[in-house]
Amino acid sequence: MSIFVDENTKVVYQGLTGSQGRYYGLLNRDYGTQVVAGTNPKKAGEDVEGIPIFASVADAVAATGANASCIFIPAPGVRSAVMEAAEGGVEFIVCITEGVPAQDEAWFYNELERNFPRVQLLGPNCPGIISPGKCNIGITAGHIAQAPVEGQHNVGIVSRSGTLTYQALYELKLQGIGVTTCVGIGGDPVPGTSFIDCLERFEADPATSAVMMIGEIGGSAEEEAAAFISASMSKPVVAYIAGQTAPPGKKMGHAGAIVSGGKGTAAAKMEALTGAGVQVGANPTEAGELMVGVVRSL
């Protein structure tokens, strides 16, 4: 199985007619994802290599049965694009765009929580999601992901870091370990999907035997995840926290990756996770090795 997306997911690309949207939309389609539509009110009735373009998400949903969207549009338009997708009838929204104002993120996060509770938003500023062999939405390279192997123990991945997500996928593939779903939640201050959202679903997914979690400095998401793992998870978790040498008060990469005072440090996060029974690697490679050991011991 998988979480959030699978071979039945039908995706409409908001921004398919732009250069980045076109590139990754077609790449995702070539992977096997059901990319059924794109949107652009000025180009409705046209197509992108056979993918029909509609004026709105609602039109695309009505014509194709799309149940997910992927947003590849500039940051100033993301707020309206997220709401168009929710109002148009999709239940899973992946927003790749970076640089979205935090005020906008907070606004549409709360608007979805209040008025569209069935809609799950992933991102903004994330690499997307891949259920290997079934569906790839976003910018993750499909060839580095090992599809789950029936009859063997497979792993779920959730990460704040895009680049380290790719490394985790590739290291597991080198060891022949399958991945049910890999979720890049992004590192912005107000992510639509949290570690806990993913951990909860991996815990309930019978095909996922263990979980790899990649966090980073800043915020309290990893500590909150540690509390959830301690209280609610039976499956083993392996983690890595990026930014262990980051100086306090200096933003490191992601908008949410900043250590303020004594809060948000890598050491505090690692301590919380270790206390919850999580095996924490000192570097990404060690985390991969720890996961290999966990899978082989199951």
Catalytic residues: 254
3-state DSSP assignment of residue 51: strand
**Rounded Cα–Cα distance for residues 295 and 141 (Å):** 24
Alpha helix segments (H runs only) across the chain: 19-31, 57-64, 78-88, 102-115, 162-174, 195-204, 221-232, 266-275, 284-297
Tokens of 224: 């909150």
Residue 278 amino acid letter: V
What would the DSSP string read from start to end of 245-266? TPPTT---SSTT---BTTBS-H
Contacts of 245 (CB under 8 A, 6+ apart): none
Cis peptide before 124 (omega within 30 of 0): yes
The residue with tokens 């992927």 is: 70
Tokens of 235: 């499956």
